[in-house]
Amino acid sequence: MNASVKLIEKVLPSTVNIHARVPQDHLSAQILGAERMGSGALIDPNGYILTVSYVVIGAESLQVTLLDNTQYEAEIAASDFTSGLAALKIPGKGLPHLPLQSSAELHSGDEVFMVASVAEEGRRVNGGGIISLGPFDAYWEYCLDRAIITTAMNPGLGGGPIFDMVGRMVGVVSLNLNEVGKFSLAIPVEYFTEHKDELLRYGRRASRPSRAWLGMYSYTFRDRIVVAGLLPGGPGEKAGLKSGDVILEIDGQEILDRRQLYNQLWSRRAGETVSFRVFRNNSVRTIQVVSGNVEEFFT
């Protein structure tokens, strides 16, 4: 890793550990657990912290620990299910904080480094190069038009900052990608900065139209999308979609890849009925799914 010790020492005080406690009966607890730990970064002297939403979704209590072991009770200031980012707020003024920089200035091959918490007082650092700044889609109805994918592997808990080589925070580390090689995915900070005022005012992207959501997990197999699983109680399960269903069409549009599936699904608003043609048990059938709203489901 080529980041200097001086540069690392400069950014470390703005990194935090997050401890979230979630009610056992919250719908996210069955997927993510009722007690979660994560990383985060102070981005404002008045106590705003940027992290990933999966660490804090559904939390009834949040404890943030700074590098010097000072602890604060935090609250969720904003959550953006589309980007996967969340902002927390702790009391205080004049807190150490990081400069934010759009990923638009990054290029493939640029070096970056990341900082992650491993416990309340521990931090780990890792570095690597950027291999992609293009679109990214995942199996849980998630897609970014721009994502940072790097060879720097996350050395600790998710939600920590990723930096350019002058110490500007360019993204939030989300998860490790181990399907082909070993890489990390980071969400560019502009998903927050470009909508900061709206997110902090309403706690969400209030101006963005809702989009259809199924509670479905999927994977690609031979140029088709296969249902890998369904969230219990979600719209897809309620409508009768099954694991193993091969999705042929949505609303009459042939589906050949996952990004196309999401774009077609998200052309509909939450609450609208979406028509699926699927292949199951050597036959083709049509299933009408009344879509849901992911924000309302997990609130």
Domain count, the chain: 3
Six-digit token pair at 263? 């774009």
pLDDT mean over 250-274: 96
Instruction: Give tens-digit pLDDT for 1-42.
Output: 667 889 999 999 999 999 999 999 998 998 899 999 999 999
| 268 membership: H or E segment, kind and range | none
Same-domain status, 167 and 243? no
Is the distance from CB of 238 to CB of 253 less than 8 angstroms? no
Q: Which of 174, 202, 230 is the last residue of a domain?
A: 202
The answer to whether residue 211 is domain-embedded is no
In this prediction, residue 171 carries a pLDDT of 98
DSSP label at residue 39: E
Specify the pTM: 0.94
Euclidean distance between CA atoms 129 and 238, whole angstroms:
44
DSSP label at residue 218: E
In this prediction, residue 180 carries a pLDDT of 54
pLDDT at 181 over 60: no
Same-domain status, 123 and 180? yes
The answer to whether residue 4 is domain-embedded is no
Same-domain status, 14 and 56? yes
Q: What b/e sequence results for 270-288 when a residue is b if at least 16 CB atoms lie within 10 Å of its CB, and e otherwise?
A: beeebebbbeeeeeeeebe
Phi, psi values for residue 258, rounded to 5° = -70, -35
The residue range of the domain holding 72 is: 9-96+196-202
pLDDT mean over 198-224: 95
- 12: helix, strand or coil: helix
| Least confident stretch, 59-63, 178-182, 198-202, 246-250 | 178-182
Residue 9, burial from CB neighbour count under 10 angstroms (0-12, 13-18, 19+): exposed
The answer to whether residue 1 is domain-embedded is no
Q: How far is CA 19 from CA 13, 27, 88, 102, 140, in A?
A: 18, 18, 12, 28, 24
